[in-house]
Every structure is written in structure tokens, then in C-alpha cells.
Structure 1
Amino acid sequence: MRYPSIVHHGAVTGVTGSCHQLQMDDEHALLIDCGLFQGAETSPEGRAGADKLAIDFSLDGIKALVATHVHIDHVGRIPYLLAAGFKGPILCSEPSAKLLPIVLEDAFKLGFSRDQKQVERYLKLIEQRIVVLPYKQWFTLIDTKQLNARIRLQRAGHILGSAYVEVDLHYPETGEKKRIVFSGDLGAPHAPILPAPKAPYKADVLVIESTYGDRLHEDRRSRRARLEKVLEHALSNQGTVLIPAFSIGRTQELLYELEDIIHRRALKELAKAQSSASGPNTDKAPALDWASLPIILDSPLASRFTSVYRELDQFWDAEARARLAKGRNPLAFRNLLTVDSHQAHLAMVNRLVQTAQPAIVIAGNGMCSSGRIVNYLKAMLGDERHDVLFVGYQAEGTPGRQIQRFGPRSGYVEFDGQRYDIRAQVHTIGGYSAHADQLGLVRFVTRMSAWPNEIRLVHGDKPARRALADALRERYVDQSSDVNILLPGIDEETGMG
């Protein structure tokens, strides 16, 4: 076999289960992510079957695991990897090192045991395995006469701690050198809180995600205006806006934007009050009470992540840090209410159903396949006063995708074998995705000084991957450059030359 070579153990039939093995030589391999399969990639109900949880590949020669970020579709099978006998370190960024035990504690409780002593032993094992890699610094992984391998993490702008991975390989006996880049998940360029990702200097081989490879996002200003419009509708309709959101990343971005909307509205109301004090007020429309609008975060896990986000504000971008310097608290503002216990959650659902108090609820999980959002949806989907707002990708086979697809047609969705009619309004704001769109993905390639001669498109549905492949080929043609673009799981697998 010619080395290096890449084997994809996941994220090749859709957008979940990311797991890629870089075989560096006969004896040394590196694993990039080990994520959970979700949605139609598991079962029609969106549940992970045992065959999708077990590690079905050999661990021989795998010296380390690199976690690009802590979303469950990138790290959710780590408990099963350890159970299968993996003994190597888990390499990740500093923020990921703080977030990963929280994510894996939740995964362990769901998949293995809730016994506190077992959980604590497991978490201690995880923390012993974690090796923190600072951004932008090379780390030597292997140094022998046959192979020198080093890796470097760079900010990916997807969620706090997310990274893309540069792997430099040098084969002293032949003098051959290769740089392989794994994108992980790349963030949108103008996402709140985190700096945008910058393209690497070069890559010989690039493995890149393609979640939104077939579309463009709204710009940040227009998506915020749309968000505000949806919220205005809910307020005037005395309804609740339900936002299914992933506990980490999307939730914190939403809180950041909601704080800003409320802050701007407060300034407008103040200016209007000062103006009316000096003259007659001709505006007869009743003012919407933004100052009293409850923003309900109903997810203990999301609350823990939000606390870590606040703690690690040194990783925020310049805009977010400037707001902190002005005394604002983008992730801990006055309107924000957190719901912790299950009893308090049920009480909140009943309260919002029975009263006509407008509110915004952010709850997991992001694809509506489980979690507290399900109880809200069961109780509110049938009432046209309410709104469901999707701000993230809905995988095929999940209830979220069903609501997104059939809601506008007055359809229904099934939860636990029971049909629920969808009378609530359904909205989607794609610009709030934590993933780069087609333009962002193309720029990640074309802004390199030395473009890759092989690109592998993963972590995307077939149409998205094919559209991104076409867009990339077009850029290469414009530059009179050659490229080999592979779609693993769609095209026939080939080794790297």
C-alpha cells in the first residue's frame, strides 16, 4: 500500500458520525474524531442502533485521537472507542478540553450507566487521556527513522474550541513530504462570538466538510432582522417561539443575538420616550414589551456549556469582548431564565400553554429527536399562536426535518408513535447555522497559497457534496489547475497517491 492513505469510518453517507483514519505508514495511524450517527443514518426513527455504536474497525496502530470539537456527531462514540481497547491520548484544544468531559458525561449516562461512581471513574479516565494542544503550535506525534509526524490545530470558528487539523508527514528515507488538512466543521465568517476561520497556508490533501455545500447563507444583518420579525409576530400573537438548538454553539450564538436585539430595542424605546416628552406621540400602535420578554433556556446541559463559554471569554472575538468591556453580559442578561430540574421543565411547559404570555424557549435537542424540546412541541404544535424556528441543520429522518418539511403544508409529525398536527408557524433561518456555506467552503480552499491537489468531500448529503465539487472544479479550471475531488461513499474509494 502507498502511504499516506485515508479510510473514512463515518460522515460519508450524510452529515453525522464523523470518523477518519489517517494511515501514515504500516505501524502508525491517527484517528480524527469518533462521532455518533444521527437521523436517517441510524434508523427511520433517528435512534442510534447498536451496530452504529460499536467500533467496527481495527484499532491496531492508532496512536492518538484528535477531537476537532465536542459536538456529539464528532465525539459521541469515544466511550465505545475506549471500551474497544483504545489506549492512546485524546488531543484537542484548551476550550474543548473543558467542554469534552461535560459532553462525554452526558453520553456515558445515556449509553452506559447513571451510577455516579462509574460516571466519576469514567470521567477521570477521560481527563487522564486528554492532551491539550494550544492553537497555532506544532506538536510532534511520531519521530522515527521512517516517519516524522506532527500536527497543529487552527481555529475553525464553528463552536468554542473547534479546530481544523494540519498534519505534516515526512518520510526521511524517501524524502517525501505531505501536508494533510482535516477541516472538522468550519464556522460561518460572520458568526457571533468566535473569530472566523482563516484558510491554512497550504495542503496537499484536504478532507473538508460539505454540510451546506449547495447553498448560501443570509448575511448576519438580514438574518437578525428576520429573527426580530419572527419574535415580533410571537409577541403580538401572545405566543411562544420554540427554538430547537444544540446545547453547544448554536444556543450561545442565539443568546448573544437575542441580548443584542433586546439591547437595541431598549435604546430605541428610550429615544422614543425622550422624543415624545418633547412633542406629541402620533404612533398609535401599542408598544411591544421587549424589556419583559422572557428568554427561557430549558436545558441543563446548555446552561453548563454557556457557563464555560463565559469562563473562556479570552477565546471570543473582538466584537464580543468589546461588549463585555462596556458592561454588557451577552450570555447572562436580565431577560434570561434557566430551567434546571425536570419538574420545573414540566411546570414551564404547562405555564406557557395555559397563559397568553409571550416567550422565547431554547431547548434541545437541535433535531427534535429527543430532549425537552419534544414536550414543548407536543404541547404547542397544534396551536397557531406559537412559532417553531429552526436555526440549524435538520438531518433526514429526524422529527425536525419532518416539521420543517410538512409544517408549512399543515402536515403532522410523529412523536412516540402518536401524530401531532402542525398548526404553529414554522420558520427556518439558515444564516444561523454554525457551518460555513458554499462560498465559505470554497474560500477555505482558494485562499490557500498552495491549493490541494486532492480534496475529499465528507460530512454532507449527496446533493451538497456534488454541488460543492462542481463549484471547486470551476475554480480550479479558472486557475488552469488540476485537482482530484473524491466523494467517499459516493465515488469508488481510492488511496492517495
Structure 2
Amino acid sequence: MLKLHHHGAASGVTGSCHQLYLDDQHSILVDCGLFQGEDLERRAPGEHHIDFDLSQVQALIVTHCHIDHIGRIPYLLAAGFRGPILCSQASAYLLPLILEDAIKLGFTRDRTLVSRFLEQIRSQLQPLDYHHWHALPAPAVGMVRLRPAGHILGSSIVEVALPNKKRIVFSGDLGCYNTPLLPDPDAPEAADLLVLESTYGNRSHEHRAERSQKLKQILQSTLENRGVTLIPAFSIGRTQELLYEIEDLLHNLNGDQAMAQVPIIVDSPLAAKITTSYRQLQHLWDKEARHKISSNRHPLDFDHLITIDGHRQHQELLNRLQVSAEPAIVIAASGMCSGGRIVNYLKALAPDPRTDIVFVGYQANGTLGRRLQQLNAPTEVEIDGQPTRVEASIHTLSGYSAHADQPDLIRFVASMAFPPKCIRLIHGSPVAQKGLANCLKRTFPGIKVELAATMASAPVKASVSST
């Protein structure tokens, strides 16, 4: 009997944390992420803290470096966890950057304390190569292997092999097939239990060509209206993918010099650091992206790309955009508008009808991003505690999601040489889990499908087992 506890993302999209028991005395954690939006509102105050026993936890395995998968690591260390943190080579490179930013925003700006924490993190990190089996800290109880997940740079599918020959696979967050920059998800051969994300389990995304065309039309509208296009984007993954696609649009303008002169502004110090890291890790890019480099194109470092660093520079740009009639495209964090510099842009520019706000990623229930996304007419919205009249045009480009949609999730399962005996759906709303479950049952009638959302004894935490 396999025993698996969900300490988050059983019936929601954020707070991923899953405890797999290898035997009666040993377990591992897969991810330890923050709750956001509605998932956070449903929890009691202070429940970011670790509220489960760590005495049997041998290791933490990180699938990737999004904050809803790593944001509770500071709490984990504060609770006394000193085991290894296993992840891909790229994730080991990126994780301290992401957590440094999170610590400064949510814990302390004391440089000594931040440095001490990062030193502790680095001492526990154990980078693993893809496609190779590695012994878990208690080697008699299992092995682990990582495979590329295609979600963001360094994202991983986690395979755990137990001495009894059972194979458990955690998909982590799966990327779409044919995503810019990254290789496609690399499905394992087999699994007794596949723990599968379902963020967009009941949806289909736009195709890449369609989303690029829509983005081009919005950018042309920005030029014609002499307004600003605001794109809330996660600092890691989405920002780099957007830059890649914008560079491609600019490269194929066929003489449209006016569009070529519009500044592309990245206003996020963290996103700038991550983009630099992406450029340094070009060997992990897919063939298409590496070919562009060999053709003397620079998808993440092109003409008219401007990076804003300090707060003073940010404020000067914001003031200028408010009073001028200069078109610009601004990419800023956070991706769900729950904080960061995008909030300042929204307060200043959302009342201007020349502004376009473009959502290119998942907006969790309860976030400002979701509230704005659902607007269908000018209205007043509270932004950072300030009532703000929103006259801007709102757009959603679903094809830019870093999450696989229903067809891609089905394709992932179908590409396994031996179908899994059981699939448990996590990391999705109950509606998304149910939609994917129904499709899986129709497509693979011999596979048992479980919904973590319906198995949970409470909406935020489930303790379930699978034979």
C-alpha cells in the first residue's frame, strides 16, 4: 500500500507539497510551495508555517522554482529541516535567486540574516542530472530520477523507484508541447501511480501561431493609440517566453519601422536576473532557440529591450508614461498582480482607455489579476487599497500558459510506453480535475483515476492512500 499525504494543491492550484511514504519510517516531500489567492484565504492565519511532522522526512525534491512550489522552504528550514534538497542543475542555480527575493519581500531585509539563510539553502542543495537514477538519503528505501518537464527552465518530472518495484511519478507542472525555448515534456516509460497536475485539465489553449498573431495585433493597437501595453508576468519562465516571442515578431515585421522602435520594457529586478541566468544556461534551450543563437539572433537580448532596475528609475518611467503619448510595452511582476511593480502601473495607467492589459498566465481565484481578467466593461476596482477606475482594454492570451492543457496532458499519458495503473489528479480546481478525469477515463478506460479534491478530508489538506 502506497501512502501519500497532500499538504497543499489537493483541491487548488497553489501551495504544492506532497509527502510520499517510502516505508513506515521514511518519507520524502515533493515541493513545498506557498499558497496564493483563494487558496491562501481559505487557510487560517499563519498556516504558511509547516503544520506536519518532519521527523520521518528524509529529503525534499523540488520540481521547479515557481513560488507556489518552493515558497514554504524558508518555513521548512525554520522548522528544523536539514535534509538534502534535490533538484535539477538549473533549478539549483535559480532557486537561491527566487528565494532571496521572496525572503526580502516576506521575511526580512536584514542582509546578514538573508545571507545566512541563502548559505543554509546552498549547503542543502544537491543538484541532479536528468535521466540518471540517484539514491535517496536512505538508499535502501528508494531511488529518484528527474526528467525535463518543459514548464520552465530546470522544471522536472520526478520518478521514485521503491525496493518493492513500485514506481511513483510526480509530473510537477508540465509545460505545453512546442513551447519556445524549452524541450517538450519527457514522459517516463511507466508508473504504478502517476500524480498528475490538472491546472488546465478542462481547457484547450490557443495554438502558438494564434497567440502570436493576437499579441501582434495588441502591440499594433498600442502603437496606433500611443498607449501602453501592460503584461503582468512571472519573473521566471513567462517573462523569458514573452521576450522570445516578441523578438520573433520584431524580426518578422517586414519593414514596419514604427513598430520596431516601440520600447520593450522589463521592469522587474528579479526577472532581469532570471533572464541573465537563462542566457547563461543556453545549453538547456531547445533546438529552435539554439539555432537562432547560431544565426546571430539574440531572443532574450535584442534592440529596444530596456531593463529597469532601481526604484527611482521605475518611478521616473511610470511618471513619464502617465503624461506622455509615447507607446510602450511593459512586462512586470507579479504575474497575478498580487504585488510588485505591476501594481504601480495598474494604479497609474488602468484609468487610461489607451492602455491594454494583457494576461498571459493563470490568475488564481481571489487575486487582483483574476478580478481584472473578469471585467467586461469599465468599472471601479480596488488596487492596493485604492479605488481605481479601470478604462483599459483587458485581454487574455491563453496560449501563453506554461501549463499543459487537456490535450497535452492526455498526450503526456499516452506517450508513456506502459500506461500507469492509477492516476491521481492534483494542482487544479475541483472543476478542472473532474474535467480531466472524465477525459482520461474515456481515453484510457483501463486506468484508475482519482481526484485529490474529492478525496480530501479538508479543502486544503488530504491524507490518502492508493493500492
- In the superposition, the TM-score normalised over structure 1's length comes to 0.91
1:122 aligns with 2:92: no
Distance 1:260 1:54 in 2: 43
Partner residue in 2 for 1:375: 344
The 1:35/1:143 distance shift into structure 2, 3 A limit, reads: closer
1:150 aligns with 2:143: yes
Partner residue in 1 for 2:451: 487
Listed one character per residue, the Cα deviations across residues 144-203 of structure 1 (whole Å, up to 9, x for unaligned) are 6xx440000000000000001000001xxxxx3200000110001011100111221011
Q: Is the 8 Å Cα contact of residues 58 and 138 (structure 2) preserved in structure 1?
A: no
Distance 1:354 1:20 in 2: 49
**Bigger shift: 414-423 or 212-221?**
414-423
Partner residue in 2 for 1:448: 416
Listed one character per residue, the Cα deviations across residues 34-88 of structure 1 (whole Å, up to 9, x for unaligned) are 00000011128xxx97423110000011000001000000000000000001110
Select the residue among 205, 216, 239 that pairs with 2:227.
239
Which residues of 2 match residues 56-67 of structure 1 at below 5 A? 56-67=51-62
Partner residue in 2 for 1:284: none
Distance 2:152 2:357 in 1: 23
What is the DSSP-based 3-state SS (H/G/I as helix, E as strand, rest coil) of the residue aligned with 1:52? coil
Identity among equivalent pairs (%): 52
Q: Is the 8 Å Cα contact of residues 33 and 75 (structure 1) preserved in structure 2?
A: yes
Listed one character per residue, the Cα deviations across residues 411-459 of structure 1 (whole Å, up to 9, x for unaligned) are 3321233221221101000000001000111111121111112111111
Amino acid across the alignment from 1:199: A
Rg comparison, structure with higher value = 1
Q: Is the 8 Å Cα contact of residues 142 and 150 (structure 1) preserved in structure 2?
A: no
Distance 1:126 1:418 in 2: 38
Select the residue among 127, 132, 137 that pairs with 1:137.
132
Partner residue in 2 for 1:261: 249
Which residues of 2 match residues 24-423 of structure 1 at below 5 A? 24-43=22-41, 50-141=45-136, 147-170=140-163, 176-265=164-253, 268-269=254-255, 289-406=258-375, 408-423=376-391
Distance 1:410 1:108 in 2: 36
Distance 2:165 2:423 in 1: 17
Partner residue in 1 for 2:425: 457
Partner residue in 1 for 2:460: none
Q: Is the 8 Å Cα contact of residues 23 and 141 (structure 2) preserved in structure 1?
A: no
Distance 1:412 1:191 in 2: 36
What is the DSSP-based 3-state SS (H/G/I as helix, E as strand, rest coil) of the residue aligned with 1:490? helix
**Bigger shift: 135-144 or 209-218?**
135-144
What is the DSSP-based 3-state SS (H/G/I as helix, E as strand, rest coil) of the residue aligned with 2:319? helix
What is the DSSP-based 3-state SS (H/G/I as helix, E as strand, rest coil) of the residue aligned with 1:102? helix
What is the DSSP-based 3-state SS (H/G/I as helix, E as strand, rest coil) of the residue aligned with 2:420? coil
How far the C-alpha of 1:93 sits from its partner, in A, is: 0.5
Amino acid across the alignment from 1:389: V
Of structures 1 and 2, the one scoring higher in RCO (CA 8 A, sep 6+) is 2
1:466 aligns with 2:434: yes
1:435 aligns with 2:403: yes
The 1:40/1:143 distance shift into structure 2, 3 A limit, reads: closer
What is the DSSP-based 3-state SS (H/G/I as helix, E as strand, rest coil) of the residue aligned with 1:198? coil
Q: Is the 8 Å Cα contact of residues 236 and 288 (structure 1) preserved in structure 2?
A: no
Listed one character per residue, the Cα deviations across residues 441-482 of structure 1 (whole Å, up to 9, x for unaligned) are 1111121111112111111111111100000000122xxx2x
Following superposition, which runs of at least 4 residues in structure 1 exceed 4 angstroms of deviation? none
Task: Give the CA RMSD over aligned residues.
Answer: 1.4
Q: Is the 8 Å Cα contact of residues 403 and 412 (structure 1) preserved in structure 2?
A: no
The 1:451/1:386 distance shift into structure 2, 3 A limit, reads: same
**Bigger shift: 417-426 or 437-446?**
417-426
The 1:494/1:96 distance shift into structure 2, 3 A limit, reads: closer
Distance 1:188 1:126 in 2: 30
Q: Is the 8 Å Cα contact of residues 153 and 166 (structure 1) preserved in structure 2?
A: yes
Partner residue in 2 for 1:173: none
1:426 aligns with 2:394: yes
Distance 1:218 1:209 in 2: 19
Q: Is the 8 Å Cα contact of residues 58 and 137 (structure 2) preserved in structure 1?
A: no
> Which sections of structure 2, spanning at least 5 residues, go unmatched?
457-462
